[in-house]
Amino acid sequence: MSDSTQTLDETTLLNRVQAPEGEGREILDAATREAIGRAPVQSVADLDDAIARARAAQPGWEARGHEERSALLMKAADALEANAEVLARLLSREQGKPLNGPNARFEVGACSAWLRATASTPLETQVVVDDGEVYAELHYRAVGVVGAIGPWNWPMMISIWQIAPSLRMGNTVVIKPSEHTPLSVLAMLAIMNDVLPTDVLIGISGDREVGARLSSHPGIDKVMFTGSTATGRKIIEASAGNLARLTLELGGNDAGIILPGTDPKAIAQDLFWGAFINTGQTCAALKRLYVHDSIYDDVVDALAEVAALMPMGNGLDENNVLGPLQNKAQFDIVSGLVEDARANGGRIVTGGAPAPELGELFYPVTLVADVTDGVALVDEEQFGPVLPIIRYHDVDDAVASANGLDVGLGASVWGDRDEARRVAARIQAGTVWINSHGGVHPMIPFGGVKGSGYGLEFGVEGLKSVSVPQIING
Protein backbone atom coordinates (compact mmCIF):
# COMPACT_ATOMS: atom_id res chain seq x y z
CA MET A 1 0.00 0.00 0.00
CA SER A 2 1.33 3.42 -0.97
CA ASP A 3 0.23 6.90 0.12
CA SER A 4 1.10 8.48 -3.24
CA THR A 5 -0.97 8.35 -6.40
CA GLN A 6 1.05 7.22 -9.41
CA THR A 7 0.32 8.07 -13.01
CA LEU A 8 1.44 5.24 -15.29
CA ASP A 9 1.95 4.92 -19.04
CA GLU A 10 0.30 2.06 -20.93
CA THR A 11 3.47 0.00 -21.36
CA THR A 12 4.39 0.23 -17.67
CA LEU A 13 0.89 -0.64 -16.57
CA LEU A 14 0.58 -3.54 -19.00
CA ASN A 15 3.93 -4.95 -17.91
CA ARG A 16 2.76 -4.96 -14.31
CA VAL A 17 -0.15 -7.29 -15.04
CA GLN A 18 0.63 -9.39 -18.11
CA ALA A 19 2.40 -12.74 -18.16
CA PRO A 20 6.14 -12.91 -18.84
CA GLU A 21 7.35 -13.21 -22.43
CA GLY A 22 6.54 -16.67 -23.81
CA GLU A 23 3.92 -17.40 -21.16
CA GLY A 24 0.21 -16.78 -20.75
CA ARG A 25 -2.53 -16.41 -23.34
CA GLU A 26 -2.43 -13.81 -26.08
CA ILE A 27 -5.15 -11.14 -25.95
CA LEU A 28 -6.13 -9.49 -29.22
CA ASP A 29 -7.33 -5.99 -30.00
CA ALA A 30 -11.06 -6.38 -30.68
CA ALA A 31 -10.95 -3.96 -33.62
CA THR A 32 -7.63 -4.72 -35.33
CA ARG A 33 -7.06 -8.32 -34.09
CA GLU A 34 -3.46 -7.40 -33.27
CA ALA A 35 -1.88 -8.65 -30.06
CA ILE A 36 -2.24 -6.37 -27.04
CA GLY A 37 -0.48 -8.50 -24.44
CA ARG A 38 -0.46 -11.83 -22.65
CA ALA A 39 -2.95 -12.63 -19.91
CA PRO A 40 -1.69 -14.78 -17.05
CA VAL A 41 -3.25 -18.24 -17.00
CA GLN A 42 -3.50 -19.16 -13.35
CA SER A 43 -4.53 -22.51 -11.94
CA VAL A 44 -6.90 -23.85 -9.32
CA ALA A 45 -3.89 -24.12 -7.01
CA ASP A 46 -3.26 -20.39 -7.52
CA LEU A 47 -6.90 -19.74 -6.67
CA ASP A 48 -6.65 -21.81 -3.50
CA ASP A 49 -3.65 -19.75 -2.44
CA ALA A 50 -5.41 -16.47 -3.24
CA ILE A 51 -8.45 -17.42 -1.18
CA ALA A 52 -6.25 -18.45 1.75
CA ARG A 53 -4.49 -15.08 1.64
CA ALA A 54 -7.80 -13.23 1.39
CA ARG A 55 -9.16 -15.13 4.39
CA ALA A 56 -6.07 -14.27 6.42
CA ALA A 57 -6.39 -10.58 5.53
CA GLN A 58 -10.14 -10.27 6.12
CA PRO A 59 -10.30 -9.89 9.93
CA GLY A 60 -7.77 -7.06 9.91
CA TRP A 61 -9.56 -5.32 7.05
CA GLU A 62 -12.92 -5.54 8.82
CA ALA A 63 -11.34 -4.29 12.04
CA ARG A 64 -10.36 -1.00 10.35
CA GLY A 65 -14.00 0.06 10.51
CA HIS A 66 -16.25 1.82 8.02
CA GLU A 67 -14.55 5.20 8.22
CA GLU A 68 -11.05 3.97 7.40
CA ARG A 69 -12.22 1.55 4.74
CA SER A 70 -14.25 4.30 3.08
CA ALA A 71 -11.25 6.63 3.12
CA LEU A 72 -9.16 4.00 1.36
CA LEU A 73 -11.85 3.49 -1.26
CA MET A 74 -11.79 7.24 -1.88
CA LYS A 75 -8.03 7.03 -2.39
CA ALA A 76 -8.54 4.13 -4.80
CA ALA A 77 -10.96 6.34 -6.74
CA ASP A 78 -8.29 9.08 -6.85
CA ALA A 79 -5.79 6.57 -8.24
CA LEU A 80 -8.17 5.44 -10.96
CA GLU A 81 -8.90 9.04 -11.93
CA ALA A 82 -5.16 9.78 -12.16
CA ASN A 83 -4.82 6.88 -14.61
CA ALA A 84 -8.18 7.21 -16.34
CA GLU A 85 -6.87 7.81 -19.86
CA VAL A 86 -4.43 4.90 -19.92
CA LEU A 87 -7.12 2.60 -18.53
CA ALA A 88 -9.65 3.81 -21.10
CA ARG A 89 -7.26 3.17 -23.97
CA LEU A 90 -6.47 -0.34 -22.77
CA LEU A 91 -10.18 -1.03 -22.26
CA SER A 92 -11.00 0.29 -25.74
CA ARG A 93 -8.47 -2.01 -27.37
CA GLU A 94 -9.35 -5.11 -25.38
CA GLN A 95 -13.14 -4.80 -25.26
CA GLY A 96 -13.63 -2.84 -28.51
CA LYS A 97 -15.74 0.03 -27.20
CA PRO A 98 -14.74 3.49 -28.46
CA LEU A 99 -13.14 6.06 -26.21
CA ASN A 100 -16.00 8.50 -26.71
CA GLY A 101 -19.75 8.31 -26.29
CA PRO A 102 -21.11 6.16 -23.45
CA ASN A 103 -18.13 3.88 -23.79
CA ALA A 104 -14.53 3.50 -22.51
CA ARG A 105 -13.94 6.89 -20.89
CA PHE A 106 -17.48 6.75 -19.56
CA GLU A 107 -16.83 3.30 -18.05
CA VAL A 108 -13.60 4.29 -16.32
CA GLY A 109 -15.28 7.40 -14.94
CA ALA A 110 -18.13 5.26 -13.64
CA CYS A 111 -15.62 3.13 -11.72
CA SER A 112 -14.44 6.16 -9.75
CA ALA A 113 -17.98 7.43 -9.29
CA TRP A 114 -19.22 4.09 -7.91
CA LEU A 115 -16.27 3.82 -5.54
CA ARG A 116 -17.01 7.27 -4.14
CA ALA A 117 -20.75 6.72 -3.87
CA THR A 118 -20.30 3.36 -2.19
CA ALA A 119 -17.73 4.73 0.23
CA SER A 120 -20.05 7.56 1.28
CA THR A 121 -23.34 5.63 1.56
CA PRO A 122 -24.39 5.31 5.22
CA LEU A 123 -25.77 2.04 6.55
CA GLU A 124 -27.29 2.89 9.90
CA THR A 125 -28.02 0.51 12.74
CA GLN A 126 -31.76 -0.14 12.81
CA VAL A 127 -33.66 -0.28 16.09
CA VAL A 128 -36.30 -2.95 15.40
CA VAL A 129 -38.00 -2.99 18.83
CA ASP A 130 -37.85 -0.47 21.66
CA ASP A 131 -41.04 -0.77 23.71
CA GLY A 132 -39.67 -0.21 27.19
CA GLU A 133 -39.33 -3.92 27.87
CA VAL A 134 -37.46 -5.21 24.81
CA TYR A 135 -34.69 -3.46 22.91
CA ALA A 136 -33.25 -4.99 19.74
CA GLU A 137 -30.95 -3.64 17.04
CA LEU A 138 -30.22 -4.89 13.53
CA HIS A 139 -26.57 -4.62 12.46
CA TYR A 140 -24.80 -5.68 9.25
CA ARG A 141 -21.43 -7.43 9.47
CA ALA A 142 -18.97 -8.57 6.84
CA VAL A 143 -19.80 -11.91 5.27
CA GLY A 144 -16.11 -12.88 4.86
CA VAL A 145 -14.46 -13.54 1.50
CA VAL A 146 -16.38 -12.58 -1.63
CA GLY A 147 -15.71 -14.44 -4.87
CA ALA A 148 -16.52 -12.23 -7.86
CA ILE A 149 -16.81 -13.39 -11.47
CA GLY A 150 -16.98 -10.62 -14.03
CA PRO A 151 -18.20 -10.32 -17.64
CA TRP A 152 -16.51 -9.09 -20.83
CA ASN A 153 -18.98 -6.40 -21.88
CA TRP A 154 -18.40 -3.83 -19.10
CA PRO A 155 -15.42 -5.56 -17.50
CA MET A 156 -14.13 -2.74 -15.30
CA MET A 157 -17.39 -1.11 -14.24
CA ILE A 158 -19.19 -4.32 -13.32
CA SER A 159 -16.10 -5.49 -11.42
CA ILE A 160 -16.30 -2.30 -9.37
CA TRP A 161 -19.99 -2.97 -8.74
CA GLN A 162 -18.84 -6.21 -7.10
CA ILE A 163 -15.69 -4.92 -5.43
CA ALA A 164 -16.77 -1.59 -3.96
CA PRO A 165 -19.62 -2.69 -1.67
CA SER A 166 -17.78 -5.84 -0.67
CA LEU A 167 -14.70 -3.95 0.49
CA ARG A 168 -16.76 -1.20 2.08
CA MET A 169 -18.52 -3.73 4.32
CA GLY A 170 -15.26 -5.32 5.48
CA ASN A 171 -15.04 -8.29 3.16
CA THR A 172 -12.01 -9.21 1.14
CA VAL A 173 -12.44 -10.01 -2.55
CA VAL A 174 -11.02 -12.58 -4.96
CA ILE A 175 -12.12 -11.65 -8.46
CA LYS A 176 -11.86 -13.54 -11.72
CA PRO A 177 -12.27 -11.39 -14.84
CA SER A 178 -13.60 -12.81 -18.09
CA GLU A 179 -11.08 -14.71 -20.20
CA HIS A 180 -11.95 -12.27 -23.03
CA THR A 181 -11.08 -9.06 -21.14
CA PRO A 182 -8.65 -9.82 -18.31
CA LEU A 183 -5.98 -7.18 -18.92
CA SER A 184 -8.12 -4.10 -18.33
CA VAL A 185 -9.49 -5.52 -15.08
CA LEU A 186 -6.07 -6.63 -13.85
CA ALA A 187 -4.71 -3.17 -14.66
CA MET A 188 -7.48 -1.55 -12.65
CA LEU A 189 -6.79 -3.88 -9.70
CA ALA A 190 -3.08 -3.10 -9.83
CA ILE A 191 -3.79 0.62 -9.54
CA MET A 192 -6.24 0.11 -6.69
CA ASN A 193 -3.80 -2.15 -4.87
CA ASP A 194 -1.27 0.65 -4.79
CA VAL A 195 -3.45 2.17 -2.06
CA LEU A 196 -5.23 -0.85 -0.53
CA PRO A 197 -3.70 -3.18 2.07
CA THR A 198 -2.08 -6.38 0.86
CA ASP A 199 -4.42 -9.27 -0.06
CA VAL A 200 -7.63 -7.33 0.48
CA LEU A 201 -8.30 -7.42 -3.29
CA ILE A 202 -6.84 -10.23 -5.39
CA GLY A 203 -7.32 -10.85 -9.10
CA ILE A 204 -7.12 -14.34 -10.59
CA SER A 205 -6.81 -14.72 -14.35
CA GLY A 206 -7.76 -18.22 -15.40
CA ASP A 207 -10.11 -20.39 -17.41
CA ARG A 208 -13.56 -21.77 -16.69
CA GLU A 209 -12.15 -24.42 -14.37
CA VAL A 210 -10.93 -21.63 -12.09
CA GLY A 211 -14.34 -19.97 -12.23
CA ALA A 212 -16.09 -23.22 -11.35
CA ARG A 213 -13.77 -23.75 -8.39
CA LEU A 214 -14.36 -20.19 -7.19
CA SER A 215 -18.11 -20.89 -7.04
CA SER A 216 -17.74 -24.10 -5.04
CA HIS A 217 -14.71 -23.26 -2.88
CA PRO A 218 -15.27 -23.81 0.85
CA GLY A 219 -13.28 -20.66 1.59
CA ILE A 220 -15.75 -18.42 -0.29
CA ASP A 221 -18.65 -16.96 1.70
CA LYS A 222 -20.38 -14.99 -1.05
CA VAL A 223 -20.41 -15.28 -4.85
CA MET A 224 -21.23 -12.36 -7.12
CA PHE A 225 -21.68 -13.12 -10.81
CA THR A 226 -22.73 -11.20 -13.89
CA GLY A 227 -23.24 -13.25 -17.04
CA SER A 228 -25.49 -15.75 -18.74
CA THR A 229 -28.46 -17.49 -17.14
CA ALA A 230 -26.99 -20.88 -18.06
CA THR A 231 -23.76 -20.15 -16.20
CA GLY A 232 -25.75 -18.69 -13.31
CA ARG A 233 -27.56 -21.98 -12.87
CA LYS A 234 -24.24 -23.81 -12.73
CA ILE A 235 -23.01 -21.40 -10.05
CA ILE A 236 -26.14 -22.04 -7.97
CA GLU A 237 -25.47 -25.79 -8.17
CA ALA A 238 -21.76 -25.38 -7.41
CA SER A 239 -22.40 -23.16 -4.39
CA ALA A 240 -24.76 -25.63 -2.71
CA GLY A 241 -21.91 -27.45 -1.02
CA ASN A 242 -20.51 -24.42 0.76
CA LEU A 243 -23.83 -22.56 1.20
CA ALA A 244 -22.28 -19.41 -0.21
CA ARG A 245 -24.64 -16.46 -0.48
CA LEU A 246 -25.31 -15.36 -4.06
CA THR A 247 -25.93 -12.22 -6.06
CA LEU A 248 -26.64 -13.15 -9.68
CA GLU A 249 -27.18 -10.61 -12.46
CA LEU A 250 -28.00 -12.84 -15.39
CA GLY A 251 -29.17 -12.58 -18.96
CA GLY A 252 -31.90 -10.22 -20.05
CA ASN A 253 -34.02 -9.67 -23.12
CA ASP A 254 -35.39 -6.27 -22.20
CA ALA A 255 -38.62 -5.16 -23.82
CA GLY A 256 -39.60 -1.60 -24.61
CA ILE A 257 -43.20 -0.55 -25.24
CA ILE A 258 -44.00 2.68 -27.10
CA LEU A 259 -47.52 3.88 -26.35
CA PRO A 260 -49.80 5.50 -28.93
CA GLY A 261 -49.54 9.28 -29.12
CA THR A 262 -45.79 9.34 -28.48
CA ASP A 263 -43.63 11.61 -30.64
CA PRO A 264 -41.13 9.31 -32.43
CA LYS A 265 -38.59 12.02 -33.21
CA ALA A 266 -38.58 13.24 -29.60
CA ILE A 267 -37.55 9.84 -28.25
CA ALA A 268 -35.44 8.48 -31.14
CA GLN A 269 -32.03 9.44 -29.71
CA ASP A 270 -32.78 7.96 -26.28
CA LEU A 271 -34.27 4.86 -27.89
CA PHE A 272 -31.14 4.39 -29.96
CA TRP A 273 -28.75 4.53 -27.01
CA GLY A 274 -31.09 2.39 -24.91
CA ALA A 275 -30.61 -0.33 -27.50
CA PHE A 276 -27.13 0.27 -28.86
CA ILE A 277 -25.01 1.44 -25.93
CA ASN A 278 -21.73 -0.51 -26.05
CA THR A 279 -22.79 -1.65 -29.54
CA GLY A 280 -25.70 -3.53 -27.96
CA GLN A 281 -23.46 -5.60 -25.69
CA THR A 282 -25.18 -4.65 -22.44
CA CYS A 283 -27.27 -6.89 -20.18
CA ALA A 284 -29.95 -4.27 -19.61
CA ALA A 285 -30.01 -2.87 -23.14
CA LEU A 286 -33.30 -2.54 -25.01
CA LYS A 287 -33.46 -5.76 -27.02
CA ARG A 288 -37.01 -5.95 -28.41
CA LEU A 289 -39.17 -2.94 -29.15
CA TYR A 290 -42.97 -3.08 -29.28
CA VAL A 291 -44.51 -0.12 -31.13
CA HIS A 292 -48.17 0.76 -31.51
CA ASP A 293 -49.45 0.41 -35.05
CA SER A 294 -50.44 4.11 -35.24
CA ILE A 295 -46.82 5.29 -35.00
CA TYR A 296 -44.93 2.17 -36.06
CA ASP A 297 -43.55 3.39 -39.39
CA ASP A 298 -42.62 6.78 -37.94
CA VAL A 299 -40.63 5.14 -35.11
CA VAL A 300 -38.79 2.88 -37.55
CA ASP A 301 -37.91 5.89 -39.75
CA ALA A 302 -36.81 8.03 -36.79
CA LEU A 303 -34.51 5.28 -35.46
CA ALA A 304 -33.02 4.74 -38.92
CA GLU A 305 -32.24 8.46 -39.17
CA VAL A 306 -30.39 8.42 -35.85
CA ALA A 307 -28.52 5.21 -36.73
CA ALA A 308 -27.23 6.76 -39.95
CA LEU A 309 -25.47 9.48 -37.94
CA MET A 310 -23.55 7.18 -35.57
CA PRO A 311 -19.98 6.41 -36.76
CA MET A 312 -18.62 2.90 -36.20
CA GLY A 313 -14.98 1.83 -36.29
CA ASN A 314 -11.77 1.46 -34.30
CA GLY A 315 -12.40 2.63 -30.76
CA LEU A 316 -9.19 4.65 -30.59
CA ASP A 317 -10.50 6.92 -33.34
CA GLU A 318 -11.97 9.88 -31.46
CA ASN A 319 -14.79 10.19 -34.01
CA ASN A 320 -16.33 6.77 -33.45
CA VAL A 321 -19.06 5.94 -30.95
CA LEU A 322 -19.75 2.32 -31.98
CA GLY A 323 -17.20 -0.49 -32.09
CA PRO A 324 -16.90 -4.18 -33.00
CA LEU A 325 -18.39 -7.20 -31.32
CA GLN A 326 -15.93 -8.23 -28.64
CA ASN A 327 -15.40 -11.82 -29.74
CA LYS A 328 -16.04 -14.18 -32.64
CA ALA A 329 -18.57 -16.32 -30.78
CA GLN A 330 -20.80 -13.30 -30.16
CA PHE A 331 -20.32 -12.09 -33.74
CA ASP A 332 -21.57 -15.45 -34.99
CA ILE A 333 -24.63 -15.33 -32.72
CA VAL A 334 -25.58 -11.88 -34.01
CA SER A 335 -25.05 -12.85 -37.65
CA GLY A 336 -27.10 -16.01 -37.26
CA LEU A 337 -30.03 -14.26 -35.60
CA VAL A 338 -30.20 -11.64 -38.37
CA GLU A 339 -30.19 -14.30 -41.08
CA ASP A 340 -32.91 -16.24 -39.27
CA ALA A 341 -35.04 -13.10 -38.94
CA ARG A 342 -34.58 -12.37 -42.64
CA ALA A 343 -35.68 -15.90 -43.49
CA ASN A 344 -38.76 -15.46 -41.31
CA GLY A 345 -39.99 -12.33 -43.04
CA GLY A 346 -38.07 -9.65 -41.18
CA ARG A 347 -37.53 -6.41 -43.11
CA ILE A 348 -33.94 -5.18 -42.84
CA VAL A 349 -34.17 -1.40 -42.45
CA THR A 350 -30.49 -0.68 -41.80
CA GLY A 351 -27.42 -2.93 -41.75
CA GLY A 352 -28.13 -6.61 -42.09
CA ALA A 353 -24.69 -7.91 -43.07
CA PRO A 354 -21.16 -7.86 -41.58
CA ALA A 355 -18.86 -4.93 -42.35
CA PRO A 356 -15.50 -6.57 -43.19
CA GLU A 357 -14.17 -3.26 -44.52
CA LEU A 358 -14.09 -2.10 -40.87
CA GLY A 359 -12.61 -5.30 -39.47
CA GLU A 360 -13.24 -8.93 -38.70
CA LEU A 361 -15.77 -8.47 -35.88
CA PHE A 362 -17.72 -5.43 -37.05
CA TYR A 363 -21.47 -5.70 -37.59
CA PRO A 364 -23.32 -2.47 -38.41
CA VAL A 365 -26.36 -1.19 -36.55
CA THR A 366 -29.24 -3.33 -37.82
CA LEU A 367 -32.92 -2.51 -37.43
CA VAL A 368 -35.25 -5.40 -38.27
CA ALA A 369 -38.90 -4.46 -38.75
CA ASP A 370 -42.01 -6.58 -39.27
CA VAL A 371 -40.94 -9.48 -37.06
CA THR A 372 -43.12 -11.15 -34.43
CA ASP A 373 -42.85 -13.05 -31.19
CA GLY A 374 -41.59 -16.55 -31.89
CA VAL A 375 -38.80 -15.41 -34.19
CA ALA A 376 -35.42 -16.19 -32.61
CA LEU A 377 -34.23 -12.56 -32.81
CA VAL A 378 -37.18 -11.57 -30.60
CA ASP A 379 -37.19 -14.54 -28.23
CA GLU A 380 -33.42 -14.89 -27.72
CA GLU A 381 -31.00 -12.30 -26.36
CA GLN A 382 -28.95 -11.02 -29.30
CA PHE A 383 -26.37 -9.05 -27.24
CA GLY A 384 -25.23 -7.03 -30.22
CA PRO A 385 -26.11 -4.14 -32.55
CA VAL A 386 -29.45 -5.50 -33.76
CA LEU A 387 -32.94 -4.41 -32.69
CA PRO A 388 -36.17 -6.20 -33.67
CA ILE A 389 -39.16 -3.85 -33.90
CA ILE A 390 -42.55 -5.50 -33.38
CA ARG A 391 -45.92 -3.99 -34.25
CA TYR A 392 -48.77 -4.21 -31.72
CA HIS A 393 -52.41 -3.08 -31.74
CA ASP A 394 -53.45 -3.42 -28.09
CA VAL A 395 -51.41 -2.43 -25.06
CA ASP A 396 -52.53 -5.57 -23.22
CA ASP A 397 -50.94 -7.66 -25.97
CA ALA A 398 -47.67 -5.70 -25.72
CA VAL A 399 -47.55 -6.23 -21.96
CA ALA A 400 -48.22 -9.95 -22.44
CA SER A 401 -45.37 -10.13 -24.95
CA ALA A 402 -43.01 -8.24 -22.65
CA ASN A 403 -43.82 -10.71 -19.86
CA GLY A 404 -43.82 -13.77 -22.10
CA LEU A 405 -40.17 -14.76 -21.72
CA ASP A 406 -38.42 -16.28 -18.70
CA VAL A 407 -36.26 -13.19 -18.14
CA GLY A 408 -36.91 -9.96 -16.31
CA LEU A 409 -33.88 -7.75 -15.89
CA GLY A 410 -35.22 -4.47 -17.25
CA ALA A 411 -37.95 -2.98 -19.43
CA SER A 412 -39.15 0.44 -20.49
CA VAL A 413 -42.38 2.22 -21.37
CA TRP A 414 -42.43 5.32 -23.59
CA GLY A 415 -45.20 7.89 -23.74
CA ASP A 416 -47.35 9.97 -21.40
CA ARG A 417 -45.72 9.61 -18.00
CA ASP A 418 -48.85 8.77 -15.99
CA GLU A 419 -50.06 6.20 -18.50
CA ALA A 420 -46.54 4.79 -18.83
CA ARG A 421 -46.30 4.31 -15.07
CA ARG A 422 -49.59 2.39 -15.06
CA VAL A 423 -48.28 0.09 -17.79
CA ALA A 424 -44.91 -0.25 -16.05
CA ALA A 425 -46.57 -1.62 -12.93
CA ARG A 426 -47.80 -4.59 -14.98
CA ILE A 427 -44.38 -5.59 -16.34
CA GLN A 428 -42.35 -8.38 -14.78
CA ALA A 429 -38.87 -6.86 -14.56
CA GLY A 430 -36.50 -5.76 -11.84
CA THR A 431 -36.40 -2.21 -13.24
CA VAL A 432 -38.86 -0.48 -15.54
CA TRP A 433 -37.70 2.84 -16.94
CA ILE A 434 -40.10 5.55 -18.11
CA ASN A 435 -39.07 7.35 -21.33
CA SER A 436 -35.52 6.05 -21.10
CA HIS A 437 -33.84 2.67 -20.96
CA GLY A 438 -30.87 1.16 -19.16
CA GLY A 439 -29.68 4.02 -16.99
CA VAL A 440 -28.23 3.00 -13.62
CA HIS A 441 -27.44 5.08 -10.56
CA PRO A 442 -25.22 4.15 -7.60
CA MET A 443 -28.01 4.89 -5.12
CA ILE A 444 -30.85 3.10 -6.95
CA PRO A 445 -31.04 -0.68 -6.33
CA PHE A 446 -30.67 -2.86 -9.41
CA GLY A 447 -31.40 -6.54 -9.96
CA GLY A 448 -33.47 -8.98 -11.98
CA VAL A 449 -36.38 -11.37 -11.58
CA LYS A 450 -37.23 -14.74 -13.17
CA GLY A 451 -34.30 -16.07 -15.24
CA SER A 452 -32.43 -12.78 -14.89
CA GLY A 453 -31.20 -13.70 -11.44
CA TYR A 454 -31.70 -12.43 -7.92
CA GLY A 455 -30.15 -10.15 -5.35
CA LEU A 456 -29.76 -6.39 -5.44
CA GLU A 457 -26.79 -4.18 -6.13
CA PHE A 458 -26.16 -0.44 -5.48
CA GLY A 459 -27.05 1.85 -2.62
CA VAL A 460 -27.99 0.70 0.84
CA GLU A 461 -29.55 -2.52 -0.48
CA GLY A 462 -26.29 -3.32 -2.25
CA LEU A 463 -24.35 -2.95 0.99
CA LYS A 464 -26.79 -5.26 2.76
CA SER A 465 -26.37 -7.87 0.02
CA VAL A 466 -22.67 -8.32 0.81
CA SER A 467 -23.27 -8.49 4.55
CA VAL A 468 -24.78 -10.82 7.12
CA PRO A 469 -27.45 -9.44 9.45
CA GLN A 470 -26.90 -9.64 13.17
CA ILE A 471 -29.49 -8.91 15.85
CA ILE A 472 -28.27 -7.58 19.19
CA ASN A 473 -31.10 -8.15 21.61
CA GLY A 474 -31.01 -6.57 25.04
Q: Which residues are catalytic?
A: 249, 283
Helices (H) and strands (E) in the chain, counts: 16, 20
The CA-atom distances, in angstroms, between 194 and each of 5, 62, 156, 355 are 8, 19, 17, 42
Residue 390 near residue 378 (C-beta atoms within 8 A)? yes
CA distance 153 to 133: 54
Per-residue CA distances from 182 to 148, 314, 347, 460 (Å)? 13, 20, 38, 29
CA 444 to CA 121: how far, in whole Å?
Answer: 12
Contact 156, 87 (CB under 8 A): yes
Q: Which residues contact 445 (CB under 8 A, 6 or more apart)?
A: 456, 457, 458, 459, 461, 462
Residues 346, 340: Cα–Cα separation, whole Å:
9
Alpha carbon distance 435, 55 (integer Å) = 45
Pairing of strands 135-142, 172-176: unpaired
How many Cβ atoms sit within 10 Å of the Cβ of residue 33?
Answer: 12
First and final CA of the chain: distance in angstroms?
Answer: 40
- Per DSSP, the residues of 24-63 read SEEEE-TTT--EEEEE----HHHHHHHHHHHHHHHHHHHH
Encoded amino acid at 176, one letter = K
